[in-house]
Structure 1
Amino acid sequence: MAEIIPIRPWRYNPEVTPPIDTLTSPLFDVVSEKQRKGLYQNPLNSIHLSVPEPPNASDRAAALLKAWKTQHVLLQDKLPAIYVYYQYFKLAGSPKEYCRKGFIAHIRTYDWEDNVILRHENTIPKAVNDRIELLEKTEFHVNPTHGLFTDPDFTLEKYMDEAILFPLYETEDYQGVRDVMAVIHDGAIIRRFMDIMASKTIILADGHHRYEGSLIYKHKQMAANPHHQGNEGYNFHLMYFTNTEAGDLRILPTHRVITGLPGFDEAEIMRKLEKYFVVTPADDPCSLDELIMGKPHAFGLLFRDSAYKVRLRPEALATMTWPFPDPIKTLDLTVMHYFIIEKVLGIPGREQRASEYIDFDRSFPDCLKRVVKGEADMAIITNEVSIEEVKEVCHSGYTMPQKSTYFYPKVVGGFLFTSIRPGEFELPVYGPF
């Protein structure tokens, strides 16, 4: 089902660039303004391609890319390969070191109705349009999206474990994560990867906007190319693949922050909540995330001078009018967006994707700080989503609200890039692929 092919990426030339750890950057949708400003000071950092500075950001990225190729700042690999990428990390409050194992390759850009690549989140149109424009101007995949496949036999991990013993790169990134990358050039092993993945369905974990941008771009190119054959570079997308069955696949919660909502009134909000939720005041706002941990349909509400734990009344669920099947209706995130954001705060579901009043924050301490300092009206604290819930949503054909999942750690940018430009995308004629 999922056709993958090896890549011939462009990578930084170590003879003319500083160490690789000074060239990596966070993904465009998680990099903070402070990080951005610091990284822009390095004229060779990968952020100039992934999140180029305005004005005319995409044009600037295209011009810079052309210069980097001409000046041999970036060099293209001669041989096709599968790139192995391991991330070693710890979570707060635990001494255990996790290792998320995966590999990077090109995958055919499938339409949603093909049911080969499945999405679980909605996207934000402006972010998709930004990705399309950047892809159109550069013809470059700067960061891989994150895709999940399921293999309880862990067939490919043995090949990856062997390769990672001889790393190309080893750095510590902005998350405190140790990122290690290696390469597989052996044609027989690459073919094994291709054969194993051919039977898989892929769940998009991260990068819905980048993938949707590639999909729209593909259709634009198909319409403009009367000689379209299906193997042109615009038919493929760069992806990082990890196994859903590994115990090191972590999904952290994404909280909602409400700011600038007209007529915001804490007392009125609490009055409306009583209809749907059992409300319990929290003595210590700093422990609110712990109070709701593992409890279904439980949320924390942070206000400037108060905090509450709220839990949906069992009988309230039957009053939901959104036309979803039961597995979607019972998700914590659906409950939050319907009962708290629509019914209590008054922001209709159809307006929530583009609402200027809803922001997203993965950090509970940040949410607390923003509310206490008066930078936000309130924060809604939620639990993490399980991988089983993600699978169920994907196979249902429905999606979760935007920013529902935060797969941790994030892939870093800068290790490699791939081109879909004619003459740069094609694999060598002497290759076995």
Structure 2
Amino acid sequence: MAEIQPVRAWRYNPELNQQIDRYVSPLFDVVSAKQREQLYQNPLNSIHLSVPRGDDAAGEALRRLTEWEQTGVLEQDALAGIYVYYQYFRLPGSHHEYCRKGFMCHIRAYDWQERVVLRHENTLPTAVNDRAELLARTQFQTSATHGLYRDEDFELERYCDEAIQDPLCQTEEDYQGARDVLAVIQDAAVIQRFQAVLSQRQVILADGHHRYEGSLAYRQARLAANPQATGHEAWNYHLMYLTNAAADDLRILPTHRLLLELPGNLTDAELLARLEPYFTIRPLDDAFSMPEIIAGKPWAFGLYLGGQPYKLRLRPEVHEQLAWNTTPEVKALDLTVLHYFVLERALGIVGPDAQRQWTGITYVRNFPECLQRVDSGEARAAFITNEVTMDEVERVCQSGAVMPPKSTFFYPKTLGGLLFTSIRDDEPVPYAPFTAGL
């Protein structure tokens, strides 16, 4: 199954590393434009490598990377290792502290059809091309994607727990309120145990589909130009943060659907009339009760429309009308039901492709924000959803299908800037691929 490799990471020099909060950056699509602009104002922030700006953005990233290496802003660790990465966090309204445990390493960039790395989302070609161009110009992995493997025995966590006692760096509190801690394992025997465990596992891609496909595109281009390649060159690999799907501290938060407009200028009453053949509709007294009322109930949603909250639940007998050409695992999802019976049947936005391109919908994770934007008139309606479960993610991935857009929000998000990795031609692969019997 999955081949992983330790890496000789590039990291901020020891002086800068002591103030790592100033140089880490979040994923581009989870912060506001104002927050991004603040990051760009710091000339040494990692966002300049991960999401460069300018007419020649990839060229600008290469120029800055070269400067940082030559002036010692970034330094490469002397030994290869598996980099342990823990995130300590709390969920809104709870005092319980979670700890998501994982580690960063290189994984071979497997084509989807190899069924080693599994996806659950579609990608946009333009975004994939941008990531591939950045990789081709810099030959530098600037932010790890997030992958999931399943190990009910939790064998690797004990090595990670030991390593995290001696951290390389840690944030005080990142933009999402999490505390991020980085450590390293450089013991060859332990690293081989990591390789052995992953060699028996598939990996589900949780976050970073565009960056992963960028690595695939770059690898394919290099293979086409180097037919004599051995397959062990550094550019065959991709930087990934791996966490155990069996862990309780792996959290997926819901992403609600906000309708900025109603097609054909439908009135509120007309929308309810169009929903009624498919859903039982019950008015509620308190809008803030919607998440609690729908919690754990399949095919149940909150609807906030014209200042009035409702509970919607699909009439079970109509589910068989769901006519999209997809797997039973996808048809069973709440969000598939929502997209088919609300967006297609009630609103006339026909088919997943049309729905992805429709500008009348946006995706919002913050529940109170949904209510506020409807009350202010910025949006016409909000559909409140339950979170997707890890079991559902695994079932869909194993079925070979993909979910509706913005189905999962794995929380917290990983940070960029804790480390970088090189896939340059002169970068050696530290260890031979693991084989049974080592």
TM-score under structure 2 length normalisation: 0.94
The 3-state SS of whatever aligns with 2:394 is: helix
Q: Amino acid of the residue matched to residue 161 of structure 1?
A: D
1:260, distance to aligned residue in structure 2 (A): 4.5
Q: CA RMSD in A?
A: 1.8
Q: Are the structure 2 counterparts of residues 225 and 165 from structure 1 closer, same or farther at C-alpha, using a change threshold of 3 Å?
A: same
Q: Distance in 2 between matches of 1:116 and 1:409?
A: 25
1:89, distance to aligned residue in structure 2 (A): 1.0
Q: Distance in 2 between matches of 1:16 and 1:158?
A: 30
1:18, distance to aligned residue in structure 2 (A): 6.7
1:224, distance to aligned residue in structure 2 (A): 2.0
Report if the CA contact (8 A) 1:124-1:402 is conserved.
Answer: no
Q: Residue 340 of structure 2 corresponds to which residue in structure 1?
A: 338
Deviations 1:94-122 (A, max 9, x none): 22111111111000001111111111122
1:326, distance to aligned residue in structure 2 (A): 2.4
Report if the CA contact (8 A) 1:304-1:373 is conserved.
Answer: no
Report if the CA contact (8 A) 2:302-2:385 is conserved.
Answer: yes
Q: Distance in 1 between matches of 2:273 and 2:250?
A: 39
1:340, distance to aligned residue in structure 2 (A): 0.9
Q: Amino acid of the residue matched to residue 401 of structure 2?
A: Y
What is the 5 A alignment of 1:191-270? 191-260=192-261, 262-265=263-266, 266-270=268-272
Report if the CA contact (8 A) 2:5-2:429 is conserved.
Answer: no
Report if the CA contact (8 A) 1:79-1:428 is conserved.
Answer: no
Partner residue of 1:325 out of 300, 310, 327: 327
Moved more, 232-241 or 371-380: 371-380
The 3-state SS of whatever aligns with 1:29 is: helix
Q: Amino acid of the residue matched to residue 410 of structure 2?
A: F
Q: Distance in 1 between matches of 2:16 and 2:174?
A: 22
1:59, distance to aligned residue in structure 2 (A): 2.2
Q: Residue 113 of structure 1 corresponds to which residue in structure 2?
A: 113
Q: Residue 191 of structure 2 corresponds to which residue in structure 1?
A: 190
What is the 5 A alignment of 1:10-409? 10-15=10-15, 19-171=19-171, 172-260=173-261, 262-265=263-266, 266-349=268-351, 350-409=353-412
Moved more, 283-292 or 77-86: 283-292
The 3-state SS of whatever aligns with 2:222 is: helix
1:428, distance to aligned residue in structure 2 (A): 8.8
Q: Distance in 2 between matches of 1:348 and 1:68?
A: 50
Moved more, 186-195 or 116-125: 116-125
Q: Distance in 2 between matches of 1:14 and 1:96?
A: 33
TM-score under structure 1 length normalisation: 0.95
Report if the CA contact (8 A) 1:3-1:198 is conserved.
Answer: yes
Unaligned runs of 5+ in 1: none
Q: Amino acid of the residue matched to residue 311 of structure 1?
A: R
The 3-state SS of whatever aligns with 2:14 is: coil
Report if the CA contact (8 A) 1:123-1:402 is conserved.
Answer: no
Q: Residue 435 of structure 2 corresponds to which residue in structure 1?
A: none
Q: Distance in 2 between matches of 1:424 and 1:32?
A: 36
% same residue:
57
Report if the CA contact (8 A) 2:235-2:425 is conserved.
Answer: no
Q: Distance in 1 between matches of 2:336 and 2:428?
A: 41
1:225, distance to aligned residue in structure 2 (A): 2.1
Q: Amino acid of the residue matched to residue 293 of structure 2?
A: L
Q: Distance in 2 between matches of 1:356 and 1:233?
A: 40
Deviations 1:263-298 (A, max 9, x none): 232332211100100111232223322222211101
Q: Are the structure 2 counterparts of residues 262 and 136 from structure 1 closer, same or farther at C-alpha, using a change threshold of 3 Å?
A: farther
Q: Amino acid of the residue matched to residue 186 of structure 1?
A: D
Q: Distance in 1 between matches of 2:310 and 2:407?
A: 22
Moved more, 310-319 or 263-272: 263-272
Report if the CA contact (8 A) 2:18-2:169 is conserved.
Answer: no
Q: Residue 419 of structure 1 corresponds to which residue in structure 2?
A: 422
The 3-state SS of whatever aligns with 2:29 is: coil
1:257, distance to aligned residue in structure 2 (A): 2.0
Q: Amino acid of the residue matched to residue 376 of structure 1?
A: A
Report if the CA contact (8 A) 1:89-1:98 is conserved.
Answer: yes
Q: Are the structure 2 counterparts of residues 378 and 152 from structure 1 closer, same or farther at C-alpha, using a change threshold of 3 Å?
A: same
Report if the CA contact (8 A) 1:254-1:404 is conserved.
Answer: yes
